[in-house]
Amino acid sequence: MPSSPIRKLVPFAESAKKKGTRIYHLNIGQPDIETPEVMLQAVRAYAEKVVAYSHSAGKETYREKIVRYYEGLGLKIKTDDIIVTAGASEAISFTMNSCLDAGDELIVPEPFYANYNGFSVAAGVQVIPVTSHIEDGFALPAIKDFELLINERTKGIMICNPSNPTGYVYSRQELQTLREIVLKHDLFLFVDEVYREFCYDGREHVSVLSLSDLEQHVVVFDSISKRYSACGARIGYMISRNAELIETAMKFAQARLSPPGFGQVAAEACLEVPKEYLQDVLSEYNDRRQTLVEELRKIPGVICPEPGGAFYAFAQLPVEDSEHFCRWLLEEFSFEGATVMLAPGSGFYASQGLGKNQVRIAYVLNSEDLRAAMRCLKQALEVYASSVEEKGIEKTSG
């Protein structure tokens, strides 16, 4: 099982904190936005005498509200198309185990959310990467690049839209391209749409649920974690109109009995949150996005495409080994009593050797803290370059 590139440096961060160093946490997608009060109040007001199991697919009242949420997006689904899970993570795990056998292959554009690797290893599935590139902002690779990888073991394609870790938002045309590949080769299409509400500069989020003729092929993953700043509630869900697939996934859902009880109470309440909340959150993240990109582009040698969605930027730094640099930041560096924690880029690739000089940055701090973090990063890069040149510091992470 691979280590999480997002969390593997946590012990070094904890040591730095014990020394009194302030850490700007840009390594993990944990929003600092307050969870809506209506969600917290719903948990506080829980009146049942027993915290009982729910239906293995999740509370029916919650699934009915999810159906209405999607109706508001112009998408028609039924409660029987939904299985509520312990975060989108469990939904992905259920889906991989339902749709793929050990030894099957899943094509995933890289860089991708690092935990896809862990889910696939647990399912005995081989992730086959198709590489997107920083030079074109991590756009969808060409159709020929996908078709070169398809063989008798290929069972599906998986994307995240908007993308974690790059912030790329797939266009309708790109999704139509994937539709063509999926129908031509009779594949599944798994789409992580957790960040659907976070699209900037007038970009439109297009759900694959809106594409025709894919009823038997598509599984969508969603979650309340990012949209409502409720990561710890651990509530997500999978959606598919493929009845046989849902029936199979229900066996996994029954094996773990039910999704979290109090999490579902909070999740059901979140669908009563006014639209103004999401509009305000989007505006705040847009300000942070602009601040981060502006500050990164002031740093010599840094390349950072402007993310179109989610709340991540994937940047190239003037270092040879970003994992060594990220660890060095925590072990040896501080500026004005602080340092920065980033996620090394190589952990978001399946292809060996890629992403060595890249990092993922989560802009989950307010703009003032982001500016301070970028000043810290700029100083760190200068000191690191000088140390490497003058002292011959070992630059590999081994």
Q: In angstroms, how far is CA 96 from the centroid of its own chain?
A: 17
DSSP state of 241: S
Measure Cα distances from 60 to 83, 84, 166, 272 in Å: 10, 10, 35, 16
pLDDT average, residue stretch 270-275: 93
Q: Go through the domains of the chain in sequence order and give each one's CATH number.
A: 10-34+276-390 (3.90.1150.10), 37-270 (3.40.640.10)
Residues forming beta bridges with residue 220, ordered by sequence position? 191, 239
Rounded Cα distance, 110 and 162, in Å: 14
Q: What band does 390 get if pLDDT is binned at 50, 70 and 90?
A: low
Distance CA 183, CA 206 (A): 18
Determine the Cα–Cα distance for residues 11 and 359; give it in Å rounded to an integer.
19
This prediction's pTM: 0.94
Q: Tell me the pLDDT tens digit for each residue of 138-155.
A: 999 999 999 999 999 999
Residue % of the chain over a pLDDT of 90: 94
Task: State how far the Cα of 202 lies from the Cα of 282, in Å rounded to an integer.
Answer: 12
CA atoms within 13 A on the CB side of 367: 12
d(CA 279, CA 219): 27
In this prediction, residue 7 carries a pLDDT of 80
Specify the range with the lowest mean pLDDT, choosing from 35-39, 140-144, 235-239, 391-395: 391-395
> What does the alpha-carbon distance between residue 150 and residue 79 come to, in Å, rounded to a whole number?
34
Q: What is the pLDDT of residue 387?
A: 80
The whole-number pLDDT of residue 396 equals: 46
| Distant-in-sequence, close-in-space partners of 70: CB < 8 Å, separation ≥ 6 | 76, 77, 209, 239
> pLDDT band at residue 389, thresholds of 50, 70 and 90?
low
Quick one: average pLDDT of 28-42? Answer: 95
Q: Are 176 and 210 in contact (CB under 8 A)?
A: no
Give residue 66's identity as a one-letter amino acid code. Answer: I
Residue for token pair 């094996």: 255
- Chain centroid to Cα 243, Å, comes to 27
Measured CA angle at 242 (ends 178, 76), to 5 deg: 80
- For residue 6, the model assigns a pLDDT of 73
Report which DSSP code applies to 48.
Answer: -
What pLDDT, on the 0 to 100 scale, is given for residue 92?
98
SS3 175: helix
Q: Quick one: tokens of 377?
A: 């990063």
Instruction: Quote the radius of gyration of the chain (alpha carbons, Å).
Output: 21
